Amino acid sequence: MSLNSYCSSRVARLAVMLLTLCGGWSGVLHAQGAGNASVLGTVTDSAGAVVPGASVQVKNIATGRAQEVPTDEQGRYTIADLPIGEYEAQASLPGFQTTVRRGIKLTVGAQAIVDFSLSVGRTQESLTVESQVSQVDTVSTAVAAYVEQKQINDLPLNGRNFTDLVALVPGVATGSQIGNAGTGVPNLLYGVESNFSISGARAEGQAYLLDNTNIQGFWNHGSGSGVMGTTLGIEGIAEFSVLTNTYSAQFGGNGAVVNAVSRSGTNNLHGSAYEFLRNSALDARNFFDGVKPPFRQNQFGASLGGPIKKDKLFFFVNDEELRKSLGQTVVALVPDANAHRGIVNGQTVPIPPAIAPILALYPIPTTQVAPGVGSIQEVDTQTGNENYLLGRIDYTMSDKDSLFVRYVRDFGDATMPFLASPMAGSGIHPQPICDDRVAPGDFADHGEPVALQLHADP
């Protein structure tokens, strides 16, 4: 079976699994999504007494979705599993003015405290408070740093690898890319992948999450397909947090957690198209290169998101592709001139007829390394391709239920100079890696926070 047929069969199996899981689900799991946020607080009157039975509603400005809960006997409320974004909240009770709080910005995993003080008056009267809710999380003890969409969009990124932004977090030490013996040359099993340590922990101890699902590569090295040494899909990332200490056991990982959330559609149509070009004509020659090696890199794609039905059904899709051809100056060990003539330890020996054609494939070396061994320097070409696709559908079924499905396909292949071979110009077979992930989720509110997270990753 060819690789494309294998990947296509995986997509078909994932689709069947998704339909089976969604169609056969008859219950819910009690858990809060790690990538979602919460709003909680207390409602009091002007004298500071708690107000039980008040109605608290939060509304997502981008999608128009509103959720409403009552306060308990102590005047407290909690609205969990909210997608990240900007919100406004209001509290109301007959006999009191309706109080509205605006400027509530929820980030990945945030637990925002929004308290209300109700004044006596008619319910039709409203008091609007324009104030920023504190971004300091006073509920969780986790040590975390946030990378917002503005930073993702505005900061320069060579290769458009969003995990490079982890270096902005205190305590992060970046290292060379993981490959064969840390050389950056792809390992036959898991390619080339990013490598960083947080607070001294091993790179294998990090956890990568996207919409609460694990996206780590082979053997827990980096994320994505890994074959090209990058993590594509930055246009599809809304924001992410890096948890470095005292975080909840729900995340997994014994070093740190990179917790990302994918972008979703809104009531406004938005999109982008881009092309990033690098080539040898724009680069200077490396000091150790005899001639400037050829280099061609094209990174291009587009994203689009918006409403299918306003306030109800939204879509977002991102496609990104990478094409790379890089010349590398390599030094290869080859038989020396004496070996070509059959001279061994000063004695001439006949070269077997079966060996002569193979020996003729090796060029005459330019530098003597050891008796019988020389070296040559030449430029070999490293080629690679990667295709990344992310699609997401969000559906608001009611003011209590919403559903999303997110699919990611990351396929890459690469051919590298085989430096372990004694013959210059030899190469390994292309290394294809196909990575398909589906993450459906349902978030419901039936008097208490409940959530279902399903993940299919064959």
Of 263 and 122, the structure prediction assigns the larger pLDDT to 263
Kindly report, residue by residue over 40-57, the tens digit of the pLDDT: 999 999 899 999 999 999
Answer yes or no: is pLDDT of 196 > 80: no
Phi first, then psi: what are they for 426, rounded to 5°? Answer: -75, 160
Which residue type occupies 58? Answer: V
Name the band, by pLDDT with cuts 50, 70 and 90, for residue 16: very low
What confidence tier does 21 reach under pLDDT thresholds 50, 70, 90? very low
Domains of the chain: 37-130 (2.60.40.1120), 143-331+378-453 (2.170.130.10)
Dihedral sign for Cα atoms in the order 442, 166, 237, 132: positive
Highest-confidence range of 33-42, 63-72, 329-338, 358-367, by mean pLDDT?
63-72
Higher local confidence (pLDDT), 138 or 349? 349
Amino acid at the residue 56: V
What is the band of 92 on the pLDDT scale with cuts at 50, 70, 90? very high
Residue 323 confidence (pLDDT): 92
Q: Is the pLDDT of residue 192 over 70?
A: no
Structure tokens at 436: 């398909």
Cα separation of 21 and 8, whole Å?
Answer: 20
pLDDT digits (tens, 9 = 90+) for 357-401: 888 888 888 888 888 888 887 777 888 888 999 999 999 888 778
Contacts of 288 (CB under 8 A, 6+ apart): 329
> Cβ neighbours of residue 63 under 8 Å, at least 6 residues apart?
83, 85, 264, 266, 267, 311, 314, 394, 396
Tell me if 178 sits within 8 A of 219, measured CB to CB.
Answer: no
More confident residue, 390 or 248: 390
Please indicate whether residue 74 or residue 333 has the higher confidence score (pLDDT). Answer: 74
pLDDT at 450 over 80: no
> Has this prediction a pTM greater than 0.85?
no
pLDDT at 423 over 80: no
